[in-house]
Amino acid sequence: MLHARSGALEPGDPVPEPLVMTSAFALSEQPAPDRSYGRMATPTVSAVEARLALLEDAPCLLFPSGMGAYGALMMAALKTGDRVLLLSDGYYAARALTETVLAPFGITMQTCAAHDIATAPLDGIAMVIVETPSNPGLDVIDIAALAERCHAVGARLVVDNTVCTPLLQQPLDLGADAVIVSDTKAMGGHSDLLMGHVASRDAGLMERLHATRSLAGAIPGPFEAWLLLRGLETLDLRLARMCENARAALPILSASDKVSDVIYPAPHPQTSDQGFLVGATFADAPTADRFLEMAGFAPTTSFGGLHSSGDRRARWGDAVPAGFLRLSFGTEPTDRLMADLARALDRA
């Protein structure tokens, strides 16, 4: 992926992917579809999609945010009368999008908790959208088993792979029909951009998705796509440190009398690592907030960035205790971070 620059590297060429800021192209008699007008494609966006396609082992389309990817995929794949199954403990905006934007088009929604999905009835469902591990509960869903059940009733399975990224989990290989990733999180990794993508080996679906993007107009600008590519080039290194830090913190959090419950995704053969997110329950909201401040964790609702951060999820209405924190471990040096964490636990 690192060496898959668009165009062969000739002597004198810059090594990084060039950033091409353009909306217009000099046209030939038969303009190439990716060199006609910026709303269809631009060289930098196409170059980032090509790198993502290597990570996903499938064609990819880029959107200006993770929700942009959700909206376009649902518009492209669903029709009036379709019913969608979403996780009740999944990303809130996915349910809100379905209920507020898609409902007037005759698309209905059903919800189910991640830990019940293995036995949820799927009759009459056109599309199932899940996250695994779920967020913030960190329940693991068996993708291959769910894909089989979906396909038996003619439903498409879409996996939101934001938490694992394609480096830790490959839902398409396990039978999912499409993958959505919010590249705003670990993929970009620097908390300085919004982006999202869809990957699928269903050529018809990708063609319709491209038409949806071109006509509805939600294509990212070249600069932010280029920033994402810059982040992707260190994804492997960042994830390794982030997961190492999360694992190092588990025994420290578990041993503390300030933390009543620690959650971390169960190991599963479908993921190569259990990730960088950890749930920790403190006595109450003020204790949790004090801990974040003393540990130097950024109090953000996003996750997956270089900087360790935490979010008190009850603030957003999640069904968790008031003192529950979703901690996202960053890339700080492990020894130093664990020392800060232990001191903050003592004093919080």
- Which residues are near ligand PLP by CB under 6 A? 65-67, 91, 93, 131, 135, 160, 162, 182, 184-185, 194, 196
**Burial per residue of 196-226, b for 16 or more beta-carbon CB atoms within 10 angstroms, e otherwise:** bbbbbebeebbebbbebbeeeebbbebebbb
What is residue 283's three-state secondary structure? coil
Q: Which among 114, 77, 74 is positioned nearest to 98, based on CA atoms?
A: 74
Name the minimum Å distance from CB 164 to ligand PLP.
10
Q: How far apart are CA 284 and CA 307, in angstroms?
A: 24
**In the structure encoding, which two tokens stand for residue 105, read together?**
């088009």
Task: Tell me the residue type at 9.
Answer: L
User: Which one, 149 or 185, has the nearer CB to ligand PLP?
Assistant: 185
Name the minimum Å distance from CB 236 to ligand PLP.
20
What is residue 70's three-state secondary structure? helix
H-type alpha helices, the chain: 43-56, 66-77, 92-96, 143-152, 165-168, 203-216, 222-232, 235-255, 285-295, 334-347
CB-based burial of residue 52 (10 Å sphere; 0-12 exposed, 13-18 middle, 19+ buried)?
A: buried
Name the minimum Å distance from CB 130 to ligand PLP.
10
Q: What angle do CA 309, 314, 318 make, to 5 degrees?
A: 105
Name the minimum Å distance from CB 266 to ligand PLP.
18
Name the minimum Å distance from CB 190 to ligand PLP.
14
| CA 4 vs CA 56, 233, 275: distances in Å | 14, 11, 26
Which residue minimizes CB distance to ligand PLP?
66
Name the minimum Å distance from CB 265 to ligand PLP.
14
Name the minimum Å distance from CB 49 to ligand PLP.
16
**Residues in Cβ contact with 77 at an 8 Å cutoff, skipping those fewer than 6 apart:** 127, 156, 178, 205, 208, 209
User: Which one, 40 or 87, has the nearer CB to ligand PLP?
Assistant: 87
User: Which one, 40 or 194, has the nearer CB to ligand PLP?
Assistant: 194
Q: How far apart are CA 36 and CA 25, in angstroms?
A: 6
What is residue 231's three-state secondary structure? helix
User: Which one, 194 or 306, has the nearer CB to ligand PLP?
Assistant: 194
User: Which one, 72 or 345, has the nearer CB to ligand PLP?
Assistant: 72
User: Which one, 165 or 245, has the nearer CB to ligand PLP?
Assistant: 165
Q: How many residues are recorded in the chain?
A: 348
User: Which one, 160 or 177, has the nearer CB to ligand PLP?
Assistant: 160
Name the minimum Å distance from CB 161 to ligand PLP.
9
User: Which one, 96 or 339, has the nearer CB to ligand PLP?
Assistant: 96
Name the minimum Å distance from CB 129 to ligand PLP.
10
User: Which one, 59 or 304, has the nearer CB to ligand PLP?
Assistant: 304
- CB count within 10 Å of CB 285 equals 16
Q: What share of the chain is helix, strand, coil (3-state, %, to 5)?
A: 40, 15, 45
